[in-house]
């Protein structure tokens, strides 16, 4: 059983037993979908836009995505969420024994998708280098069997944002390894508290080998609308479309109309919500630093903190020795009714992921509860 499922099931059992659980686990914004997007979806539905759509997406949405990225429409595929886009890419290109470099900490689906498609995930630990893949580590990880490198910036779960210099350093290594493609997952790029640079922009000469993955889920609070997209080489996009044609076919017509409204309509809420997220993250960090037991690195994007809890390992709470990050997450769930996700679920033991996509009063309550649980440790 995965650590995420284990914690979730334990939290549900406590909730069913009457405990009020404060959850810091959710990977989605708590803001509503902007009203003009909902209105566009309603208009699409009532005007009869309820038929099958082209497999790769409607012309209007693909065009809008291409315009924003400085690409052509035939370089775009629209899927049922960014996760499907990643799956399509792996299914279309990975053969048994192919290697895919994934940096830890990683979004847990990366490794599972690669394995389902017959590939071998090659995990590179970035905890010693502030959660950033270095050119030296990349060079050591590449072999003749390497098919892809996964990059996620801003990162889920660490919140790390790669700078232009970081990307350029990686690109310098990749230029001499023409057999390696780059999957750049930038689904959180509108929630970056420092200037964001995409891999395509920092290394334009590698565009033909780069698949950029994005979507409306995080930026526009549209997780349930299930629209993501990939921008890449037309040959790759066609291969991904073949996979999609035999799985889900085209994405929802109404959801695509909503996504089109998101991309072409008012954008002011992005900066407003980004500022709220940043303030929440700072608030949660200040509150938890008061424990003196959790240590934080830089988190310049997304809505997660990924502190180390290694200073707590070996301590005892509720009569149980805390030996792992999962033990600590289970302890604060039992002792404080706060649900968190252990770092081991993301390939980096000794940490925990905390989402701050919640109202300030909930974050304050979580801080107070975790502080009390930490102070009770011996």
Q: Are 309 and 171 found together in one domain?
A: no
Q: At 324, which CATH number?
A: 3.90.1150.10
Q: Are 367 and 236 found together in one domain?
A: no
Q: Where are the alpha helices (DSSP H) in the chain?
A: 3-16, 35-46, 59-69, 82-93, 108-116, 135-141, 164-174, 199-202, 234-245, 253-264, 268-289, 325-336, 360-375
**Structural domain ending residue among the three candidates 210, 241, 264:** 264
**What 8-state DSSP symbol labels residue 249?**
-
The contacts of residue 152 (CB under 8 Å, 6+ apart) are 103, 106, 107, 110, 185, 186
The first and second tokens of residue 148, run together, are 């892809």
**Structural domain ending residue among the three candidates 216, 238, 264:** 264
What's the CA gap between 111 and 346, in Å, rounded? 9
Q: What is the 3-state secondary structure (H, E, C) of 331-350?
A: HHHHHHCEECEEHHHHCCCC
> Residue 251 pLDDT more than 70?
yes
The closest alpha carbon to 159, from 351, 374, 289, 18, belongs to: 351
Q: Are 254 and 334 found together in one domain?
A: no
Count of structural domains within the chain: 2
Q: Are 114 and 103 found together in one domain?
A: yes
What's the CA gap between 171 and 260, in Å, rounded? 32
> Residue 2 pLDDT more than 90?
no
> What is the reported pLDDT for 9?
81
* Domain range for 276: 3-32+269-375
What's the CA gap between 131 and 114, in Å, rounded? 21
> Residue 133 pLDDT more than 90?
yes
> Residue 216 pLDDT more than 80?
yes
Q: If you count them, how many residues does the chain have?
A: 378
> Residue 241 pLDDT more than 80?
yes
Whole-number percent of the chain with pLDDT over 90: 92
**Structural domain ending residue among the three candidates 264, 288, 320:** 264
What's the CA gap between 366 and 372, in Å, rounded? 10
Q: Are 313 and 244 found together in one domain?
A: no
Q: Are 209 and 70 found together in one domain?
A: yes
Q: pLDDT band at 8, cuts 50/70/90?
A: confident
> What is the reported pLDDT for 341?
95
Q: At 242, which CATH number?
A: 3.40.640.10
Q: Are 39 and 28 found together in one domain?
A: no
């Amino acid at each position: 059983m995965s650590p995420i499922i284990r914690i979730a099931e334990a939290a549900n059992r406590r909730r069913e037993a009457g405990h009020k659980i404060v959850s810091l686990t959710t990977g989605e914004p708590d803001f509503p979908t902007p009203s003009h997007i909902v209105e566009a979806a309603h208009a699409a539905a009532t005007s009869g836009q309820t038929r099958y759509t082209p497999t790769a997406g409607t012309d209007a949405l693909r065009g809008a995505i291409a315009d924003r990225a400085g690409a052509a429409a035939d370089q775009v595929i629209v899927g049922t969420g960014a996760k499907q886009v990643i799956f399509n890419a792996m299914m279309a290109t990975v053969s048994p024994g192919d290697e895919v470099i994934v940096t830890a900490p990683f979004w847990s689906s990366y490794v599972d998708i690669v394995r389902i498609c017959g590939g071998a995930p090659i995990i590179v630990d970035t905890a010693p280098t502030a959660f950033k893949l270095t050119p030296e580590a990349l060079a050591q990880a590449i072999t003749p069997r390497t098919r892809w490198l996964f990059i996620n910036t801003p990162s889920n779960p660490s919140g790390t944002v790669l700078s232009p210099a970081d990307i350029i350093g990686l690109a310098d290594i990749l230029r001499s390894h023409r057999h390696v493609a780059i999957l750049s997952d930038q689904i959180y790029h509108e929630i970056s508290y420092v200037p964001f640079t995409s891999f395509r922009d920092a290394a334009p000469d590698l565009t033909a080998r780069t698949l950029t993955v994005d979507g409306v889920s995080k930026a526009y609070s549209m997780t349930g609308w299930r629209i993501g997209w990939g921008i890449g080489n037309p040959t790759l996009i066609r291969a991904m479309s073949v996979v999609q044609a035999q799985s889900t076919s085209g994405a929802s017509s109404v959801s695509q109309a909503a996504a089109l409204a998101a991309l072409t309509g008012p954008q002011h809420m992005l900066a407003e919500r980004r500022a709220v997220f940043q303030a929440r993250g700072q608030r949660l960090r200040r509150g938890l630093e008061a424990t003196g037991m959790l240590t934080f690195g830089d988190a310049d994007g997304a809505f997660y903190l990924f502190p180390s809890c290694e200073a707590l390992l070996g301590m005892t709470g509720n009569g149980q020795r805390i030996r792992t990050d999962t033990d600590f997450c289970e302890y604060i769930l039992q002792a404080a009714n706060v649900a968190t996700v252990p770092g081991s679920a993301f390939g980096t033991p000794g940490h925990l992921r905390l989402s701050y996509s919640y109202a300030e009063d909930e974050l304050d309550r979580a801080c107070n509860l975790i502080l009390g649980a930490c102070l009770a440790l011996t």
